Amino acid sequence: MCELLGMSANTPTDLCFSFTGLTRRGGDTGPHSDGWGVAFYEGKGVRTFHESSASASSEIATVVQSHPIKSETAICHIRQANVGKNCLANTHPFSRELWGRYWVFAHNGQLNNFTAPEGFYEAVGDTDSEAIFCDLMNHLRTSLSRTAEPQQISALLSEKAKEYAQQGVFNCLLSNGEWLFTFCSTKLASITRRAPFGPAQLTDADVTVDFEAETTPNDVVSIIATEPLTSDESWDIYQRGEWRLWQNGEVHYSGTVELPAS
């Protein structure tokens, strides 16, 4: 399996603290050593970094940890390969253009024998994750238009997520830079930090940060991860089948779809 990390904030915020915790799980405190990637939105542009090696020993990941890249929406992924070979083409997050925006997607789980129908979007690598992403993008392209409201998009995304989760494990993050859609098939957690801010300690590294010194009273920053990244904060655990659409650090739409008993 893999692990996910997403951020939604109401002001450009760096991900250094959470990203540091996640990368330790990529070959150090965790087994996810088959590649890593991160995407930071900057307006309508996306700044991405990918490697097909372990994040815990990556010099590029170390640069990202120490360089405060500011973004309101970010998506990260560390990979433990189960479908598809270990190579750069199979490294999440994946990106495609639709309606003049870059859409970025990362997946945790596995859908055995998933085959996407032919469509405008095609996979470059050989993972089930990228095939699912292309299938999802094809449905968005044919079913909605560029004027679709976030609520309409959420309805389609949650319905497709239900279909995928009925075929296997499907935890995902998806964004077009305006919002961040999250879906839990088996495991996902979130935390929203707002004033009054306090300190936090990473679970996977001896790193503590005092958010009060790094923020303003108006800041709202939400972190979504496969597993909680800190040991001294109270994280909100998603229910199976739960989805949330985040914007500016807050949940704007949410719901739960019914999934088969695990």
Q: Which residues of the chain, if any, have pLDDT below 70?
A: 1, 262
* 216-243 CB burial, b ≥16 within 10 A, e <16: eeebbbbbbbbbbbbeeeebeebebbbb
pLDDT of 158:
98
What local confidence, expressed as pLDDT, does residue 11 receive? 96
Q: What is the pLDDT of residue 69?
A: 96
Tokens describing residue 235: 């994280």
Token readout for 51 is: 């490697």
pLDDT at 155: 97
d(CA 101, CA 63): 27
- At residue 83, the pLDDT reads 74
Q: Is position 184 annotated as part of the catalytic site?
A: no
For residue 35 the two structure tokens come to 């590649």
Structure confidence at residue 89 (pLDDT): 95
Tell which residue, 175, 235, 203, 150, has the closest CA to residue 44: 175
Buried b (16+ CB within 10 A) or exposed e, 75-94: bbbbbbbebbeeeeebbbbb
**Number of C-beta neighbours around residue 251 at 10 A:** 16
Q: Which of 2, 76, 172, 184 is catalytic?
A: 2
Q: Do the Cβ atoms of 89 and 146 come closer than 8 Å? A: no
Helix H, strand E, coil C: the string for 19-75 is: HHHHHHCECCCCECCCCEEEEEEECCEEEEEEECCCHHHCHHHHHHHHCCCCEEEEE
The structural domains of the chain, ordered by start, are 3-256 (3.60.20.10)
What are the CA-CA distances from residue 195 to residues 8, 141, 161, 181, 213 (Å)? Answer: 16, 39, 34, 24, 11
Residue 201 buriedness (CB in 10 A; 0-12 / 13-18 / 19+): middle
